[in-house]
Amino acid sequence: MHQLFQLALSSGTADKVVGDALPPSQVYRQALLLALADPPHLSQAELAHTRLYLDKFAALAGLHPRPRTRPPTLLLFRPTATVAPARCLPA
């Protein structure tokens, strides 16, 4: 989903409306916000209510690229370890 949205951004079609379909940027925002609502734990009524709110307000959500102020971080760990690395333990 994220890669498809990146493709829409790079091709300049993220905000393009085709017919009566929502633009890709609107669909992407709705999908992200719906995921935050944790749909597996919502009742059918709550899910329907959430969808109504998303249809009405998802366009207000902003999408901004994450600033690259420092190089990407790499986390290494031993999956068989039974304790956290020494520098991660509370003092």
**Using one digit for the tens of pLDDT, what is the confidence trace for 2-58?**
899 999 999 999 999 999 999 999 999 999 999 999 999 999 999 999 999 999 999
Does 73 reside within a domain? no
Nearest alpha-carbon partner for 1 in 30, 28, 23, 19: 28
- 90 part of a folded domain: no
Whether 14 is covered by a domain: the verdict is yes
Q: Is 56 among the domain residues?
A: yes
The 8-class DSSP code of residue 58 comes to G
pLDDT of residue 82: 74
> Is 76 part of any domain?
no
In a domain, 53, yes or no: yes
Higher pLDDT, 81 or 42: 42
Q: Is residue 29 included in any domain, yes or no?
A: yes
The answer to the question of residue 40 being in a domain is yes
- C-alpha closest to that of 8 among 22, 20, 19, 69: 22
**Domain range spanning residue 10?**
2-65
Domain count, the chain: 1
